[in-house]
Amino acid sequence: MGIYILSVDLGPGDHRPVRSIYSEFVKEVRKGRRPEQISINGSLIIVQTPETSRALMTRMLGVNRLDPAFDRVSLVDVAAKRILLWGLYDEGAADKFPLLIEQFVSG
């Protein structure tokens, strides 16, 4: 089973229910996982799952109301030593770690 670290950064929430969006995200992460397979600390989530990193990221993005213009989801694949980024893209991070970071495009 793969071990992944998810980080969720939600943008400004004046017009969006940010807490509700985050709650839905966490609920989707927990789906099908036992309590000992998940550790949540604020916006950082560690999860153990049989899914591939791409399958997990696709599932997470498929059910949430995340906006790529405001939000960012980062997924660290511990075994592959790769980082998938979706949404608000940090060009500086990609310049510093070009072999580790990959922009994730769903669809």
User: What's the mean pLDDT in 5-27?
Assistant: 83
Domain count, the chain: 1
**86-95, pLDDT tens digit by residue?**
888 777 766 7
106: confidence class by pLDDT, cuts 50, 70, 90: low
The CATH number covering residue 13 comes to 3.30.70
| Residue 41, phi then psi, degrees to nearest 5 | -140, 95
pLDDT at position 4: 95
- pLDDT for the residue 98: 65
Report the pLDDT averaged over residues 54-64: 87
Domain encompassing residue 50 = 2-103
What is the DSSP code (8-state) at residue 85? E
pLDDT of residue 16: 73
Overall average pLDDT of the 66-77 stretch:
88
pLDDT recorded at residue 45:
94
Q: What is the DSSP string of 53-98?
A: HHHHHHHHHHSS---TTT-EEEEEETTTTEEEEEES--HHHHHH-T
pTM of the model: 0.80
